[in-house]
Amino acid sequence: MLVGRSAVDVVIPALDERESIGLVLAALPPGVRRVIVVDNGSTDGTGEVARAAGARVVREPRRGYGRACLTGLAELGRLGLPDVVAFLDADYSDHPEELPQLVEPVVEDRADLVVGSRMLRPESRRALTPQARFGNRLAALLLRRLYGLEATDLGPFRAVRWTTLARLGMRDTGFGWTVEMQAKAALARARYAEVAVSYRPRIGRSKISGTLVGSIRAGTKILWSLARLRGTAAPTRT
C-alpha cells in the first residue's frame, strides 16, 4: 500500500514492449490512483495489452522518451492533478513493487524528487550494460561538479511532487529527459533523494544501451543537456 492518502499516479512510456508491459502492470502495488501507459508508436500491440491489463493508454506516435513522458503528464493534467507522479520503464527491468520506497519520502515531505538508484546495490549495478554503467558514472560526476547534486544514477524509476515537476518546466523530448529533471531540480534547490532499487536485465533489446549507435546518441544528448542547462537561470525555488 502506498503511503497515506496522497494521490499517486504512474506514467509508463512504452515502445514495442508487448512481452513485458503486462508484467509491469501486474507488479504495481495497491494504492496507485491512475496508470497511464504512453504507447510511443508501438507496432507489436503493446497498447492493446496494456489496456487489457487495466491501464489507461494514450498514443503518442512521435518517437522520443521525453515526448512520451510529456504526453503522459498532459493526460494527467486533463484527468485531475495528482500529488505525486512516478515514472518507470515498460521493459520489466525496474521492480514496480518497490514504488512505495520512492513515494514515501515525497508523501512524508522529506523530498521533492526521489530517484531509484541502480548503482547503490552491487547486484543491480551488475545488471546494467557496461556502457550504461559508464554513462551513469560520468553523468553523476557532472551533476555533482556542475550542479552540486549528490546523484549516483539517472535511473528512470523515480517519483516527484507534482507541484515541483510543474515548476521545473520540463522540455526535453528524448534521452535527456531524466538528467534534465535532476539538473533543473538542483537549480531550483528542490529536495533531492535517492533510494537503492533492484534492477534486472530488461525483456527484449534496449532502444538506447542495446546498440552502439543508441548509446552514443544518448550519451551525447545527456552531456549536451548538462552543459546547456548549467547556463540557464534557476527556476523558482520549490
Phi, psi dihedrals of residue 14, rounded to the nearest 5°: -145, 130
According to the model, what pLDDT value does residue 234 have? 45
CATH annotation of 8-230: 3.90.550.10
For 55-109, write each residue's pLDDT tens digit. Answer: 999 999 999 999 999 999 999 999 999 999 999 999 999 999 999 999 999 999 9
Residue recorded with cell 520512492: 102
Among left, alpha and beta (phi > 0; psi -120 to 50; other), residue 85 is: beta
In tens digits, the chain (238 residues) has pLDDT values of: 577 789 999 999 999 999 999 999 999 999 999 999 999 999 999 999 999 999 999 999 999 999 999 999 999 999 999 999 999 999 999 999 999 999 999 999 999 999 999 999 999 999 998 888 988 898 899 999 999 999 999 999 999 999 999 999 999 999 889 999 999 999 999 999 999 999 999 987 765 544 545 556 666 767 767 777 776 644 444 4
Domain regions of the chain by residue span: 8-230
* CA pair distance 164, 213, nearest whole angstrom: 34
* CA pair distance 23, 175, nearest whole angstrom: 24
* β-bridge mates for residue 10, sequence order: 35, 86
Residue 204: is it exposed, middle or buried by C-beta count within 10 angstroms (0-12/13-18/19+)?
A: middle
- Determine the length of the chain: 238
Pairing of strands 158-161, 84-87: antiparallel
